Amino acid sequence: MFIIGEKINGMFKNVSEAIATKNKLIIQELAKKQLEAGADALDVNVGPASADPLKDMEWLITVIREVTGMPLAVDTTKLAVMEKGLSLAGPGSFLNSTSGQKEKLDLLLPLAKKYNSKVIALTMNKSGVPANAEARLEIAANIVAAAMEHGIETENLYIDAVILPVNVAQDHARAVLETIKQCKLICDPPPKTILGLSNVSQGTLNRPLVDKTFLVMALALGLDAAILNPLDKELMDSMITAELLLGKNIYCDSYLDAYRKK
Ligand code: THG
């Protein structure tokens, strides 16, 4: 599975403080630690408290690029911040994210094309996230069609079925799993699928347990990528073990160590 580290997000207090005080060592440590723990890319989000999202995104990506050239997921809803972020992150990074409305797709997909970025697209529209899989899949199909029209290959398109906290939207978890499964039937080659995993456990008492259980279920249904906390070792071990049991790696007694040495 492709892992995008979630920790560089102004939603976390240590990150919003580091942004406010321009403490680049905190950000660079978070970047290095997540990559050492197995992240393939890093999510970058200035958070809701940012007074100047454009400048803060520019600063975050600049200081991250001093320590790594790995792909970044530019996580913002603001068009100007997205363009600045993608231009600094460079080719092979992720536009995170667009929703499924035509107006949004027509604004954002040309940016992904211009900067050679992969695209994360949420199965939501102006009414929000539909509760059932059928409506999510209908939005996903529209997104795939729009990507084709804009010359973006479906292998570079990541459909995010948007998992919500299980304590407020319990019926959504199954709908998300069903969407992940059926996304592969939309076209050939199919789009990839992704989740912002930690959403599922927000507000629950045992967050790590909820996260790792849902990740394993989603993996069994074909999930390709996740934005998650790679510093949670039990979560990473569950992922590696699930991939082993799904036949994605050949068994050896030390498979956990062998995976980490890859
Ligand atoms: N899909 C896509 N992008 C996303 C999401 C998604 N980006 C943001 C988010 N969802 C994924 N990242 C996080 C990061 C942190 C948390 C959840 C998801 C989180 N934060 C603590 C909280 O809210 O309780 C912050 C508090 C703290 O610990 O300091 O849980 O779904 N494409």
Mean pLDDT across 131-149: 98
pLDDT of residue 209: 98
Instruction: Give the pLDDT confidence of 8-18 residue by residue, as tens digits.
Output: 999 999 999 99
Q: What tokens does 252 get?
A: 């050896």
Whole-angstrom distance, CA of residue 17 vs CA of residue 195: 27
Domain locations along the chain: 2-234
Answer yes or no: is the C-beta of 230 below 6 A from any ligand 1 atom: no
Report CA Rg, the chain: 18
Answer yes or no: is the C-beta of 211 below 6 A from any ligand 1 atom: no
Decide: helix, strand or coil at residue 10: coil
pLDDT of residue 262: 77
CA of 227 to the centre of ligand 1 (A): 9
Nearest atom in ligand 1 to 7's CA: 14
Contacts (Cβ under 8 Å, ≥6 apart) of 103: none
pLDDT of residue 261: 83
Residue 104 has pLDDT above 90, yes or no: yes
pLDDT of residue 92: 97
pTM score, two decimals? 0.98
Selected from 3.40.930.10, 3.40.50.300, 3.40.630.30, 3.20.20.20, the CATH number assigned to the domain covering 2-234 reads 3.20.20.20
Residue linked to tokens 């073990």: 241
CA of 201 to the centre of ligand 1 (A): 10
